[in-house]
Structure 1
């Protein structure tokens, strides 16, 4: 028997924005009928208001939860509550900055054990590719993690910021990619070239321009070229994480034209913020790679519209306030990471609306796009057979962001004080309203 019917005059579906009646049974979508008044009955019915739009639950495939080990930075309870209030019904957790990191089966088991019974939304996991499991003859741990259902393997080409998650040399990257491709996995890469970073001016002080100069476009450009060549030679699927520099877009376009198995993401902060507007000492804006200039931002938007960038994800990478140097404003030693999980959709939609970009494009970039790239099945689209995950959004309602009111564990956000549009009014996971006090999310595995 149908357990839930949703009636929406506007719903974002793969066929576009249209009126639909959605039938749900046992947590899955059983029918998507044309028209908000299609004949359907159920034990429970939700009728959207005139100013509301039904979206698929958003998917964020780049979230640093940090539990266990650095739970004071962000834990599963707080992160998934924030996700739910932002319309995100599925996250994929990064393998750092937890202790232990998710670079071994043991690390994965520890992380899953602490996440279980805490999560308000569904959670999957990335594995990590580090020097210890990427040396010749030492890659069996990667295969074991793959068999346990991680969605792929994250690698850094420059220092990660934490000692327990080392970065790969070019030879180690090639070894890892060959091994991962051998069992059908994918490698996802933080692409900044350490040799370029070492040669750049040192970052110090309160001026954002000095920090930006320390992470030049060339660092991304050179590292992305290495990733492309590695994917070309091995045939292994490769994904570029958090693209900030538009200078690499021609490289990516040529690789795609050549059939290199390559996907690319960018983040809300690269699409909505700009270097020219970051005040001195405002270390809440520090992330790596950095937020770049106004003209660069325009090129990222164009690449999204052209399909060259596949998806938009948060790279939610929080820390405690003291690590952000909020007292001194020193960009050189502040932790690099933007906290934006709860407000990412609203931030992107606010800027998209200003640019005349339709809502359905934003939703695709933040739902089916990440689900496809990560390989999370049954998520990100309002289609028959998919999970009944939805966000009910008022796209014209304003939202004033106050960092201390967000569900993120620490009250630090680059969006503090921002006035956005697009309020998430209700989040539904497998046909049930998300209850922040009674978390009912599940732990996901690939396939």
Structure 2
């Protein structure tokens, strides 16, 4: 029964999370989708910070050191972060001419979305799965109601208003923040600095590749080509969002679990199904539809690249979460540096050499290589001769981590977050 409830929560959560990026892909033309996805990247950055600074820092402290943090402290830190990210989205929307009229709505949508993600993580981790399912259903229903309430309204406007409304409804269902004096971001940093530092280092490197590289290319591509480039990434968004609701559950499993033959077989089957489904949809289904589906219809020429990226995204995200919750700081850092170099260099080199097609292929292949790296780094140490190697490697890692802690302590003097 518990497995069924968790599976239901993951499915509904993935459906809820996919509504905005997928409908944007379907409803908006590439010239609109480019600026919209630029603001959406701020939301993605906010979720990355939410996991590193609040949710997974709390989870690591709770699991490894038995630190207890009440909802007031957690929600206060989460609220401060969500407000900051919402403000960044507001500022970027004011800069983008196409999004300027909706800047306030974008700020609300992004800020509420970041809070909802962090609150959902907390509720799942403490076992309030039924409450999470209710919140997801209410959020999804409110999104649909708003989306179909004002036919004829500008598509970008109706999409962002529905996004903000659904975030508010879901937030209320998950739980309003319990703000109190002395429980803000400064206090949170002092309590969880040890957990935040490695996670934030990792996520910063990730964001350089996942968010910095697209912004770098946006200046050269123009809105339409950038919309198509981002469209390939968001074609796999439902796959990644299927894992996102399961992050608390995945984090509780040891790495050995994911390398059992039965589990690896299941992962392989799901990976193939995702890749085949993506390819078939873009190659055969979308071209035969009687209507055009915005940017999605333009992605038919990139069906192979999208299929490769979809498969790689599923495997890479899964084993990245496994590594993030089970591996040492040095192991996570190695994987992140490798992935960042791949994700930045390969699309840029591809675009410089072959234009948009080269950028898309570089992006897809960088995801594939990154998935292999994360899977390798997640492998549990083998017995026998490897044990001595692992012992020596761990000793070196501890020396490295110790030196980093000393330097981090010196650098962080007087700083709170």
Confirm or deny a common fold (TM above 0.5): no
Shorter-normalised TM range:
under 0.3
Q: Which has the higher helix share?
A: 2
Q: TM-score, normalised by structure 2?
A: 0.26
Q: Which has the higher strand share?
A: 1
Q: TM-score, normalised by structure 1?
A: 0.25
